[in-house]
């Protein structure tokens, strides 16, 4: 018998929620209680246990806010995130951005194939000009951190860029999308495995 909860609970610490300033309750931080609506998909404290839902624990506030505004405006089409982005705006985007930024990010528990990681490492030379060698990105240029995200999520986003479905027509993403169009789908899977494996 498969013990699904054993798999899905993984090694995450509940300490994410429990930590807080001494004296204050763990859910007292502004944003903590508002973020409870997100754990149904993104996991407790944003530490998603699945392959499809992105980890938002430790997300940089600038990127959190950009993502929320893009979803709310329909630029990043997502039937799940469009309504929730509007919820975030109602509840207070700054509180939620601060809350998720304060959560420590654990890399995904989803396993990747070592061969794919190695092929992805080689292929990532096309990406380092923007995402830099470490995969950490560059806030000054609006480049997000890709390290440790679930591979399924990373691959999906690359496919959305490739098909110009994420932020269609956005001139600032032209170079990225031109590049993605030249990347074959199996290489996209390798790149996803590689960036997912980075720590």
Partner 1 sequence: MTRLTRREFLRTSAAGAGFGFLAAGCAPAIKGDFAPKAGRRVVVVGGGWGGATAAKYVRLADPSIEVVLLEPNKQFVSCPFSNLVLSGVRSIDGLTFGYGGLRNHGVRIYHESASAIEPDTGRVRVGDGYLQYDRLIVSPGVEFQWEQVDGLAAAQDRVLHAWKAGPQTVELARQLAAIPDGGVFVLTVPPVAYRCPPGPYERACQVAFYLKTHKPKSKLIVLDANQNVVSKAALFRAAWKDYPNLEYRASNKVVKVDPSVREVTTDLGDRVKYDVVNLIPPQRAGTIAAQADLVGADKRWCEVNHLTYESVKHKNVHVVGDSTIGLPVPKSGNIANAMGKICAVAVVHLLNGKEPPAMAPGNTCYSWVNDREAIAVVNAYKIEGGKVVQIEQKLTPGQSAQWAQNADGWARSIWQDILG
Per-residue CA distances from 156 to 24, 53, 73, 139, 190 (Å): 39, 10, 20, 22, 12
Number of amino acids touching ligand HEC (CB under 6 A)? 41
132 burial class (0-12, 13-18, 19+ CB within 10 angstroms)?
Answer: middle
Q: How far apart are CA 136 and CA 134, in angstroms?
A: 5
Interaction of residue 165 with partner 1, rule CB under 8 A:
no
Position among 29, 112, 146, 198 found at the interface with ligand HEC (CB under 6 A) = 146
Write down the residue that tokens 């509940």 correspond to: 14
Q: Which residue among 31, 45, 144, 150 contacts ligand HEC (CB under 6 A)?
A: 144
Which span (10-18, 121-129, 167-175, 177-185) binds partner 1, by CB under 8 A? 10-18
- Contact flag: residue 48 with partner 1 (CB under 8 A): yes
Instruction: Give the footprint of ligand HEC on residues 50-79 (CB under 6 A).
Output: 53-54, 56, 59, 64, 66-68, 76, 78
Query: Is residue 16 involved in binding ligand HEC (CB under 6 A)?
Result: no
128 CB-near residues (< 8 Å, 6+ apart): none
Give the nearest distance from C-beta 10 to ligand HEC in angstroms: 19
Alpha-carbon gap, residue 8 to 10, rounded angstroms: 5
Q: How far apart are CA 166 and CA 177, in angstroms?
A: 10
* Cβ at position 161, least distance to partner 1 in Å: 15
* Nearer to ligand HEC (CB atom), residue 2 or residue 144: 144
From CA 42, how far away is CA 54, in angstroms rounded?
7
Distances (CA, A) of 188 to 104, 153, 155: 27, 11, 6
Binding range to partner 1, per CB under 8 A, among 4-12, 112-120, 123-131, 187-195: 4-12
The contact set with ligand HEC (CB under 6 A) reads: 37-38, 40-42, 53-54, 56, 59, 64, 66-68, 76, 78, 80-81, 84, 87-88, 96, 126-127, 129-131, 142-144, 146, 154, 156-158, 167, 173, 175-176, 179, 183, 191
């Amino acid at each position: 018998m498969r013990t699904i909860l054993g798999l899905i609970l993984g090694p995450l610490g509940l300490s994410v929620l429990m930590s807080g300033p001494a004296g204050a309750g763990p859910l007292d931080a502004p944003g903590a209680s508002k973020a409870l609506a997100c754990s149904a998909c993104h996991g407790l404290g944003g530490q998603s246990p699945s392959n499809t839902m992105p980890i938002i624990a430790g997300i940089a506030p600038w990127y959190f806010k950009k993502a929320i505004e893009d979803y709310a405006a329909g630029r990043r089409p997502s039937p799940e995130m469009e309504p929730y982005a509007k919820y975030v705006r109602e509840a207070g985007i700054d509180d939620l951005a601060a809350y998720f930024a304060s959560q420590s990010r654990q890399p995904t528990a989803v396993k990747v194939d070592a061969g794919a990681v190695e092929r992805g490492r080689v292929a990532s030379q096309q990406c380092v000009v923007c995402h830099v060698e470490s995969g950490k990105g560059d806030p000054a240029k609006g480049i997000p951190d890709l390290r440790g995200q679930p591979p399924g999520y990373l691959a999906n986003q690359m496919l959305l860029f490739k098909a110009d479905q994420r932020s269609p027509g956005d001139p600032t993403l032209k170079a990225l999308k031109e590049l993605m169009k030249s990347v074959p789908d199996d290489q996209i899977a390798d790149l996803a495995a590689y960036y997912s494996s980075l720590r």
